[in-house]
Amino acid sequence: KKKKKKTCRAEIDRRSRGERGEIIIMVGKKASGGRGGQRKRVRTQASATAKAQSVSRMKGGRYEADLRLATEAVRLASKLCRASQLQLRENENTNQTKRDKLESPVTVADLGAQAIVSWALQNLPNSGAVTRNDGFSLVAEEDSDFLRSEEGADLRNRVVDLVNNTLRGSGLKELTEAEVLLAIDEGRSEGGSDRRHWVLDPIDGTRGFVGNRQYAIALALLDEGEPVLGVLGCPNLSLEAEDLDARTAAATSSSESSSSSQQEDGSGYLFVAEKRRGAYKVGIEIEAGSSGSDAESGAPGDILGHRISVDEVDPNDAVYMESVETKHSDHAFARKVAENSGINKDSLKLDSQVKYGVIASGKASAFMRFPDLDYKEWIWDHAAGAIIMEEAGGVVTDSEGKKLDFSKGRTLNNGNGIVAAPPKLHRKLIESIKALGR
């Protein structure tokens, strides 16, 4: 027995460091403290986290404990969003009143995802290990003002029910109505260059969510105004699909066929990154304790992320990405920039920050966004995606080539437009933008 314990400690030591710099992501009941024979494993996770923090101080993985916590928070929110999207599909052919649309599953999911991530970052096992003296700060999109009104009572009840159904299914304690509202309102922080701030977009790509296309739960951590980790939950993404745009095409051509054909097919990814430690992809593992195609460790729930990197290809072979919605970006100008840079292939249109994960995985080459000239970007629309892209070897700037500045509050302190690509292609794109003179 003594020999077995030593072997276990050695295994914890090895895996907390990660082989070849890889990051171990803990998900499922085993990571969140579920019952039923999981107590020993929870202690193992705590030991691994403590060991990882010790190693991190020597090897630069300063935010590893934060990353584990963020990953589990986004996994929970992804589970919540999938449940809500199933309800949306069931209701898509029914007649809805204005009030129905206000209280639609996407509204419920937005508020519920913000509540569950906010609560998880403060209350999941090991959340105390990442608490700092300056307290908890969350910069997020939603607030509970309408929910607290008399008119918002029905919506409030639906949000609370969705949050608690998700927590109950993961073996976690349910929240009171007051706790849910408080968790949502934690997102009112103004951010800035001082201290640490979590940044959250609970559902990035609302139209993609409604249309059964791509959307993302986007969570990042800023330290003194700089992103130091990011997690993207992409429940509908399948990187193995021959045509990454197939889901968009199916959803826009026939809502009926998209609903029937896009059942729970095992798709879905988490993209994670920590400053100076690389970017990784991992199966989203919605069902707690299950093992997916990306699981490389022996025990279910212990997910070893695969390291990803951008693919620097010749412009002739490059594919650039843009938003599905034309009102989000000037597609005609993006086409001119692409052609001027030697890119001749048609664009790949996907909703949300999923685009950052796709490029970081080498499945596409660039992302360009050119909104109206007076538009200011919210920091939650790019914080998580930007660090994942950069840790995968890419470059993310505004359309003038300036690094994105997340340090000035809730909006980016940058010029108009976003360009993300591998280094050489990025330089070509910026040169083309200057030459075309937007």
Burial of 83 (0-12, 13-18, 19+ CB in 10 A): middle
54 pLDDT band, cuts 50/70/90, is very low
Mean predicted confidence (pLDDT) in 81-101 = 64
Per-residue pLDDT band for 250 (boundaries 50, 70, 90) equals low
What burial class does residue 16 get, using C-beta atoms within 10 Å of its C-beta: 0-12 exposed, 13-18 middle, 19+ buried? buried
Calculate the average pLDDT of the chain.
79
Rounded mean pLDDT, 101-115: 82
Across 228-239, average pLDDT: 94
Most confident of 166-170, 251-255, 310-314: 310-314
pLDDT at 39 over 80: no
Tell whether the model's pLDDT for residue 9 goes beyond 60: no
Across the range 231-245, mean pLDDT stands at: 82
Taking only the tens place, the pLDDT of each residue in 125-151 is 877 656 555 789 999 999 999 999 999
Residues 357-373 have pLDDT tens digits of 999 999 999 999 999 98
Range in 117-131, 325-339, 342-356 with the lowest mean pLDDT: 117-131
What confidence category does residue 58 fall into, taking pLDDT thresholds of 50, 70 and 90?
very low
Q: What is the pLDDT of residue 438?
A: 76
Q: What is the pLDDT at residue 248? A: 52
pLDDT above 70 (res 433): yes
pLDDT-derived band at 8 (thresholds 50, 70, 90) equals very low
As a whole-number percent, the residues of the chain with pLDDT over 90 amount to 59
Q: What is the pLDDT of residue 359?
A: 97
pLDDT confidence of residue 210 = 87
The per-residue pLDDT for 147 is 95
Q: How confident is the model at residue 110 (pLDDT cuts 50, 70, 90)?
A: very high
Range with top average pLDDT, 51-65, 113-127, 129-143, 281-295: 113-127
At residue 85, the pLDDT reads 87
Quote the CA–CA distance of 289 and 279 in Å, as a whole number. 24
Which residues are known catalytic residues? 110, 206
Structure tokens at 371: 């909104």
CA–CA gap between residue 193 and residue 407 (Å, rounded) = 5
Q: Give the per-residue pLDDT at 19.
A: 39
At 384 the pLDDT is 98
Q: 18 or 395: which carries more pLDDT confidence? A: 395
Q: Tell me what pLDDT residue 145 has.
A: 96
pLDDT given at position 14: 38
Mean pLDDT for the stretch of residues 9-34? 42
Say if residue 181's pLDDT is above 60.
yes
pLDDT bucket at 1, cuts 50 / 70 / 90: very low
pLDDT at 186: 97
Per-residue pLDDT, 86: 83
Higher per-residue pLDDT: 327 or 45: 327
